[in-house]
Structure 1
Amino acid sequence: MLASEAEAKAYVASLCEDTALERLELLAHLLKEENERQNLVSRGSLAEVWLRHIADSAQLLSFVPRGTHWVDLGSGAGFPGLVLAIMRPDDKFSLVESRTKRVEWLERATEQLTLANCKVFGQRLEMVETFAAGAITARAFAPLPRLVELAKRFSTKDTVWVLPKGRSAIEEVNGLPRKLRSVFHVEQSRTSSEAGILVGTGL
């Protein structure tokens, strides 16, 4: 379990090249600046940005193979989407966000971070044209049953769902229709003893 900013940064550094680490440092800087203009993340969490946001996002990479087209639902502050896009430059990322100010932030961030592998969809998910995603992720987008209902049209039998959740992870799986419960299992988060990651395939 990662317990400090130093441990979190070292963990992230072990997963990427120096150029990606530099971009992640720039992302942290841009986030702190933007958070003065709009409440992207809780102010208190900025003191632990590597642990609470960057490493928390980076840990999802271990569940998804390289060469994947990711869809990040409700990208908001850019977690996990921007972090993953920085660390996987050869993967493709579609960031879906409907709130205007956050769309503007995501567009500025992708430009300043020179993320050519990122496309921001500034609209509700229901309005995004259907395509086959290799991975679907979301952080605080919607309760699991609603999330599955909205996003399953992007899923194939090979799509990997990686969904960071808090202590409610098991309860949310149990809230799914019976035929879907076996699709997901819970992995322990590296950044919080109380958090889990829902991982599923075959929807």
Structure 2
Amino acid sequence: MIISEESRARAYISDLGGDDAIKRLELLAGRLKEENFRQNLVARGSLDSLWVRHFLDSAQLLRFVPRETQGPWLDLGSGAGFPGLVLATLRPEMSFTLIESRALRVEWLKKMKAEMDLRNCTIEGSRLELVDTVQADAISARAFAPLDKLLRLSARFSTADTYWVLPKGRSAAQEVQNLPEQESRMFHVEQSITSSEAGIIVGRGKVRDKK
């Protein structure tokens, strides 16, 4: 099932989070369109399809992490807030840490955390290499780094119970195949519901720290 209409994307998200989530994300949508003139947070061509291209594309990751998971959920290279801000909106009972090193984007994330009243969300304005090690229940990353580099940088946050949900577009299957055998067995590719050409790398477990 591929969802390409804004109205269907809103309905899907409403089923997950209700009216409160929709109101918070409507606020985010408005602010994002304003901020995009100041800094290029998202491709301008995607502004007319925010609910599909960014909100639903983020929300769908919740399919692969059980509802009872408490966190922390680490979102690496959060950028404009996808998927981190959307996930924190839809899972108020779970704790999220959004990691971003670029100053303007950190400022943006902190502003939206406050305006959206996301009390379960922490913004970590630092390079990932400098973030204190914590045991993450879930790790996500959207357009952060090639898979092998992503895993190398984030291995120290993972445990045997960590869920990995990594949107990767059309390169997903190939990136998994290119991993060493032990790691490639940990992951598989799920079909995105926002694009027939996009995949999500999903896995669970401890990635060996190669340092």
Short-chain TM bin: over 0.9
Match of 2:139 among 130, 136, 141: 136
- State the superposition RMSD in angstroms: 0.7
Whole-Å separation in 2 of the counterparts to 1:72 and 1:108 = 17
Whole-Å separation in 2 of the counterparts to 1:197 and 1:108 = 29
Whole-Å separation in 1 of the counterparts to 2:116 and 2:57 = 19
Specify the alignment match of 1:153 in structure 2: 156
Specify the alignment match of 1:65 in structure 2: 66
Amino acid at match of 2:55: I
Which aligned pairs between 1:44-83 and structure 2 lie closer than 5 A? 44-66=45-67, 67-83=70-86
SS of match in other structure, 1:32: helix
Specify the alignment match of 1:192 in structure 2: 195
**Gap regions ≥5 residues in structure 1:** none
Whole-Å separation in 1 of the counterparts to 2:167 and 2:34 = 25
Cα deviation digits, residues 96-137 of structure 1 (max 9, x gap): 000000000000010111111111111000000000000000
Specify the alignment match of 1:3 in structure 2: 4
Specify the alignment match of 1:39 in structure 2: 40
Amino acid at match of 1:178: E
SS of match in other structure, 2:17: coil
Specify the alignment match of 2:166 in structure 1: 163
Cα deviation digits, residues 34-86 of structure 1 (max 9, x gap): 11110000001000000000000000111112323200000000000000000
Whole-Å separation in 2 of the counterparts to 1:165 and 1:14 = 25
Specify the alignment match of 1:26 in structure 2: 27
Specify the alignment match of 2:16 in structure 1: 15
Whole-Å separation in 2 of the counterparts to 1:20 and 1:184 = 30
Which deviates more, 139-148 or 173-182?
173-182
Question: TM-score by structure 2 length?
Answer: 0.95
Whole-Å separation in 2 of the counterparts to 1:202 and 1:159 = 5
Question: TM-score by structure 1 length?
Answer: 0.98
Amino acid at match of 2:28: L
Q: Percent identity?
A: 61
Report how many residues are paired: 203
SS of match in other structure, 1:156: coil
Amino acid at match of 1:117: N
Amino acid at match of 2:64: F
Whole-Å separation in 2 of the counterparts to 1:183 and 1:153 = 16
Whole-Å separation in 1 of the counterparts to 2:165 and 2:4 = 22
1:101 counterpart = 2:104: yes
